[in-house]
Amino acid sequence: MIFYTCSYIPLEILMGTGRDFERLLSVTPSSCHELGCNLCGYAKTVYGAGMELDKGDFLLVADSCDAMRRVGDLLNESSRAGVFIMRLPWKRDELAVEFMASEVLRLIGFLEKKGIDVNLLAGIERFNDLIDHVRSLEATLEGRDLTELYLSALNGLKHVPTGSVDKGKTSGKNFGLAGGIVDMSEIDGIIESAGGVITLNETCLGARPFASRTRIGKDPALSVAQRLIGWRAPCGRFSEKAENEYGELDGLLYAIPKFCDFYDFTRNTSDSKIYRAEIDYPLNSHGQIATRVGALLEKNSARRSKMEKGGGSFFLGIDSGSTTTNGVLTDSTGKILHWKTIRTGINALASARRLYEELISQSVGTKEEVARIVATGYGRELIDFADETVTEISCHARAVSTLFPSARGIVDIGGQDSKVIKLSTEGKVEDFSMNDRCAAGTGRFLEVMAKVLELDPEEMASLASRSSRELSISSVCTVFAESEVVSLIGRGEKIEDISAGLFNAIVKRVAAMYARLGSPEPLVFTGGVARNAGVVHAMERVFKRKVILPEVPDIMGAYGAALFATDRQEKGQ
């Protein structure tokens, strides 16, 4: 069997062998091992799969980055399979085409030396036939059928949809993918759960390798090289970038491979429909990606309602978070009648049900009097009794813009992530940034550090107010920061100074996101951590501005959800 790792490996050659071949996409856990931790998940996947191949198998690797070059070298030494490493140019000029043509010939020579005949002209004809098939269908397909079309073509196969699919007739918003490699076995479901459907895929597992036919000329190897170097949307490793036309999309996720030097996830974009996010392979952050996609779709277009309005007079918003579940009950004008907060625990749905029942029993009396329920937070999709779900980004924006119409920025620090939201003059989400890669800069970080100091967070705040010197906590990882705090205690540093240093560490994690969005103000601080005076003081000192605190910052997400419920009711949805 022939396996390959990159779409710059010429399909014309693989199809010219007459043998079965497969794009290597086996999903294995991307844990730390002999390659180290700071390596993208796909590089680790290739290494793990390559080490399991048998004698008689072949693995074709492209040195698309330093990580893949390193993986290729290691597999060449250790794998039982025959390993070929194709070198790629950095530019896309005539010299690059000539270099690529020489690599095409070198790959053919490698295979023929291993006893595999290559009929390149026949391979080009088969590839062009495959291209015609793909291009005849891709304009009519979306979602999982579109994904299957591309993934089948990467293995030299023609996917035939089982049913008739009319593009644009599904209920999802038109959504696109671009950037580096994405785990397509999971991404369709995630985007569907957020209210979208993939109608454009410009990743290396999508349309990019099938943008054009291969011209049949006097020099077939040169023709193949011209096609490869002439990709409409080249790999991020190339110094010359092509302008991309993403068409009429409601949103586009630009995937940045983790630890990749060629894709910069911090770069701003002027296009409000594009969100750049660091995504590892395989996917290990389903909820976070769904939140990003959902918020992107919500800020660019009105969401479709899932159910007809109820007959009651009250509206409920439930925010199911990792640490707490919050509920807010309002009347039709958006006035808060009752609110409640409980610990989420291990069963988010059970906690939400208990909160719902307690709020109803303590206030309106019967469930029939609640006209509509909207859920938000990471556990929102689990709340099966909700009429609709909305991302917490949109909900915080809705609540803050209602209570503080002049606000232009929001910092929300929750239990497992932190967010910065930029608001337009109309109070809508203009842009947002999230940190959910680790616990640093979250409520969980604060809880862990409080335990180390044998204090509660409020005691830390009181002590920090008496700090006499600035103490830096440099570790960005919660585990390493814990060790650093233990070391500081051991060398006799004051608890007051350590507490203040920890609050500064939390705020500095958020400060980079805040600056990236242009430091919008007036700024409102929401989330449970906003109750901590030490974090508030540190934020005002680091940001060099006063922050606005809601009376109950914990419930802003739930309040925004309740407001969305009243909005839907007023519109008769």
Least confident segment among 36-45, 133-142, 296-305: 296-305
Average pLDDT in the 461-471 region?
86
Quick one: pLDDT at residue 304?
A: 37
Q: Distance between the two ends of the chain, CA-based, in angstroms?
A: 55
Residue indicated by tokens 């495959």: 130
CA nearest to 287, candidates 422, 392, 202, 396: 392
- Measured CA to CA, the distance from residue 550 to residue 326 in angstroms comes to 15
pLDDT mean across residues, the chain: 86
Quick one: pLDDT at residue 543?
A: 94
At 433, list the tokens.
Answer: 């940034």
Quick one: pLDDT at residue 214?
A: 95
With bands split at pLDDT 50, 70 and 90, how would you rate the model's confidence at 367?
Answer: confident
Q: What 3-state DSSP class applies to 425?
A: coil
Interval 374-433: pLDDT, tens: 999 988 989 999 999 999 999 999 999 999 999 999 999 887 788 999 999 999 999 998
CA angle 12, 16, 19 (to 5 degrees): 115
- Which segments of 70-124 are extended strands (E)? 82-86
Quick one: pLDDT at residue 40?
A: 84
Interval 46-79: pLDDT, tens: 998 999 999 999 999 999 888 888 899 999 999 9
Per the confidence metrics, is the pTM higher than 0.85? no
With bands split at pLDDT 50, 70 and 90, how would you rate the model's confidence at 242?
Answer: low
Residue indicated by tokens 């730390």: 32
Interval 546-565: pLDDT, tens: 999 999 999 999 999 999 99
- Listing DSSP states for 234-263 in one string gives --TTSSSPPPP---S-SEEEEEEETT-SSS
Least confident segment among 100-104, 144-148, 510-514: 510-514
Quick one: pLDDT at residue 29?
A: 57
- Using CA atoms, how far residue 1 sits from 4, 24, 81, 308, in Å, is 10, 11, 10, 54
- Which segments of 25-179 are extended strands (E)? 58-62, 82-86, 173-179
At 99, list the tokens.
Answer: 């270099």
- Measured CA to CA, the distance from residue 458 to residue 32 in angstroms comes to 37
pLDDT over 90 percentage in the chain: 51
With bands split at pLDDT 50, 70 and 90, how would you rate the model's confidence at 1?
Answer: very high
113 pLDDT more than 80: yes
318 pLDDT more than 50: yes
Quick one: pLDDT at residue 433?
A: 87
The residue among 294 and 125 whose pLDDT is bigger is: 125
Average pLDDT in the 333-347 region?
92
Quick one: pLDDT at residue 475?
A: 61
- Measured CA to CA, the distance from residue 468 to residue 174 in angstroms comes to 55
Strand partners for 525: 411
265 pLDDT more than 60: no
